[in-house]
Structure 1
Amino acid sequence: MQIGKTATLTNYLLPVYRKKLDHPAFIVLPGGGYNYVSQREGEPVAKALNAAGYQAFVLEYTTWEKNPNLTFQEVVDEVRKTLQYIVDNAEVLRVDKERIYIIGFSAGGHLAAVCGSLFYKYIKKVVLAYPYLTSRYVEDYEKVADTWDEEGKESLKHIYSIDAEDYISKNTPPTFIWATAEDKITSPQGMLDYIRRLLLTNIPVEFHLYGQGPHGLSLANEATKEVEGQVVPRVATWLPTLLSWIKQ
Structure 2
Amino acid sequence: MTHADEIVFLPARAEAPESRPLMLVLPGGGYAHHAPHEAEPVAAWLNDAGLNAVVFRYPVAPQRHPEPIVATRSLLAALRRGEHGAFDVSRIGVLGFSAGGHLAATLSSAPTAAERAAHDVDARPDLAILCYPVISMTDLVHRGSVDALLGPDAPVAARAALDADALVDERTPPTFLWHTAADEAVPVTHALAYTRALVRHGVPADLHVFAEGAHGKGLATGLGPLEGWTRLAVDWIREQGW
1:129 equivalent in structure 2: 131
From 70, 74, 86, the equivalent of 1:81 is: 74
Q: Does 1:194 align with 2:180?
A: no
Q: Does 1:115 align with 2:107?
A: yes
Q: Does 1:23 align with 2:14?
A: no
**Residue identity matched to 2:81:** D
In 2, are the aligned partners of 1:184 and 1:214 still within 8 Å (CA)?
Answer: yes
Structure number having the greater strand percentage: 1
Segment drifting more, 36-45 vs 121-130: 121-130
Matches within 5 A, 1:41-80: 41-64=38-61, 68=62, 70-80=63-73
TM-score computed with the length of structure 2 as normaliser:
0.83
- Measure, in 1, the Cα distance between the counterparts of 2:34 and 2:159: 16
Q: Does 1:99 align with 2:91?
A: yes
Give the secondary-structure state (helix, strand or coil) at the position aligned to 1:72: coil
Structure 1 residues 17 and 183, CA gap change in structure 2 (3 angstroms)? same
Q: State the 1:237 CA deviation.
A: 1.0
In 1, are the aligned partners of 2:8 and 2:56 still within 8 Å (CA)?
Answer: yes
Structure 1 residues 154 and 46, CA gap change in structure 2 (3 angstroms)? farther
Give the secondary-structure state (helix, strand or coil) at the position aligned to 2:183: coil
Count of residue pairs brought into register by the alignment: 226
Q: Does 1:243 align with 2:234?
A: yes
**Residue identity matched to 2:194:** Y
| Residues 124-165 of structure 1, C-alpha deviations (whole Å, 9 max, x = no match) | 111100001003334x444x37x968xx6347x998652001
Give the secondary-structure state (helix, strand or coil) at the position aligned to 1:93: coil
Q: State the 1:101 CA deviation.
A: 0.4
In 2, are the aligned partners of 1:7 and 1:78 still within 8 Å (CA)?
Answer: no
Structure 1 residues 93 and 7, CA gap change in structure 2 (3 angstroms)? closer
1:36 equivalent in structure 2: 33
| Residues 156-214 of structure 1, C-alpha deviations (whole Å, 9 max, x = no match) | x9986520012111101011000111111111112212211111111110000011110
Q: State the 1:81 CA deviation.
A: 1.7
In 2, are the aligned partners of 1:40 and 1:218 still within 8 Å (CA)?
Answer: yes
Q: State the 1:25 CA deviation.
A: 0.6
Q: State the identity as a percent.
A: 30
Unmatched segments (≥5 aa) in structure 1: 222-230
Segment drifting more, 233-242 vs 124-133: 233-242
**Residue identity matched to 1:107:** A
Structure 1 residues 239 and 17, CA gap change in structure 2 (3 angstroms)? same
TM-score computed with the length of structure 1 as normaliser:
0.82
In 1, are the aligned partners of 2:166 and 2:197 still within 8 Å (CA)?
Answer: no
- Measure, in 2, the Cα distance between the counterparts of 1:159 and 1:246: 34
Q: Does 1:177 align with 2:177?
A: yes
In 1, are the aligned partners of 2:80 and 2:90 still within 8 Å (CA)?
Answer: no
- Measure, in 1, the Cα distance between the counterparts of 2:158 and 2:230: 28
